[in-house]
């Protein structure tokens, strides 16, 4: 029997002839796991019958409708690798209520962050916990916009990263953040630099039904209800499939309005 689980932490599964094994892999976060244990497929006894943590059989009471996997008894330190296996009978499946407790937390400390006038963003960190991606954000159009992603090394020693960003005319602000599927988030300080690039302009070509820019730029086109209809990077945008009406286009460091008739 084969089972596959897709979560933000690494969760694998493998099959046996008459049973299944659920495997959860992550980092110790000083929290325990809780399992809802269904009745076995035969109707006799409960589904899960053995739990191991890093290869060691636990003393948790699995012969019940719900049980706790107590990770605190193993002497783990925060960030230690944890592999939990739950063996269960065929025809049923226990349910882990909080698998995200093994997901790494964003714990990085920003040692330095800088951006050059030509758009090379660099940053250094300490005390990372787990390989959480860094999302690069740029402040433009009155909001923080995701403009790239770099995989974190996940180590406590000093880590160095770089990413080439696309500048806008005038003031540029950048930061990096890490976030988890559970909603945890941590941000670096904001770094800014003044760009000397020529401001980009736009025009709407009603015959070609397209928006044209005087240079390559990131853009978002959205309707009067705030719904984004186009997003990308380039010198023009085809909006022939968009309905007639009022639209806004955010590009370079500004937002303008146009009408499609």
Q: For the segment 192-205, what is each residue's pLDDT rounded down to a tens digit?
A: 999 999 999 999 99
Q: What does the pLDDT read at residue 109?
A: 97
Give the pLDDT band of residue 11 (cuts 50, 70, 90): very low
Give the pLDDT band of residue 253 (cuts 50, 70, 90): very high
Instruction: Provide mean pLDDT across the span 215-227.
Output: 96
What pTM does this model have? 0.76
Q: 109-195: which CATH topology? A: Immunoglobulin-like (2.60.40)
Domains of the chain, residue spans: 10-102, 109-195, 202-260
Question: What is the rounded average pLDDT for all residues in the chain?
Answer: 90
CA distance 25 to 55: 12
Give the pLDDT band of residue 190 (cuts 50, 70, 90): very high
Kindly tell me if the per-residue pLDDT of 22 is higher than 90: yes
Kindly tell me if the per-residue pLDDT of 133 is higher than 80: yes
Instruction: Provide mean pLDDT across the span 88-113.
Output: 92
Instruction: Provide mean pLDDT across the span 125-147.
Output: 95
Read off the pLDDT of residues 150-189 as tens digits, 9 standing for 90 and up.
999 999 999 999 999 999 999 999 999 999 877 789 999 9
């Amino acid at each position: 029997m084969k089972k596959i689980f897709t979560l933000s932490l690494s969760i694998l599964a493998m099959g046996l002839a008459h049973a299944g094994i659920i495997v959860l892999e992550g980092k110790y976060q000083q929290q325990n796991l809780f399992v809802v244990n269904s009745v076995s497929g035969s109707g006799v006894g409960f589904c899960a019958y053995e739990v191991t943590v890093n290869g060691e059989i636990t003393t948790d009471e699995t012969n019940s409708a719900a049980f706790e996997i107590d990770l605190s008894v193993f002497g783990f330190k925060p960030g230690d690798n944890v592999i939990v296996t739950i063996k269960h009978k065929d025809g049923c499946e226990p349910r882990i209520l909080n698998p995200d407790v093994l997901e790494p937390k964003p714990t990085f400390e920003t040692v330095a962050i800088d951006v050059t006038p030509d758009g090379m963003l660099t940053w250094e960190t300490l005390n990372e916990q787990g390989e959480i991606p860094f999302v690069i954000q740029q402040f433009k159009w009155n909001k923080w916009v995701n403009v790239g992603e770099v995989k974190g090394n996940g180590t406590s020693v000093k880590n160095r990263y770089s990413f080439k960003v696309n500048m806008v005319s005038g003031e540029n602000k950048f930061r990096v953040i890490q976030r988890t599927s559970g909603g945890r988030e941590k941000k670096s300080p904001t770094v800014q630099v003044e760009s000397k690039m020529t401001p980009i302009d736009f025009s709407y070509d009603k015959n070609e039904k397209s928006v044209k820019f005087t240079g390559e730029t990131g853009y978002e086109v959205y309707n009067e209800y705030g719904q984004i209809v186009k997003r990308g990077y380039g010198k023009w945008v085809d909006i022939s499939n968009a309905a007639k009406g009022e639209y806004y286009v955010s590009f370079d460091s500004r937002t303008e309005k146009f009408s499609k008739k």
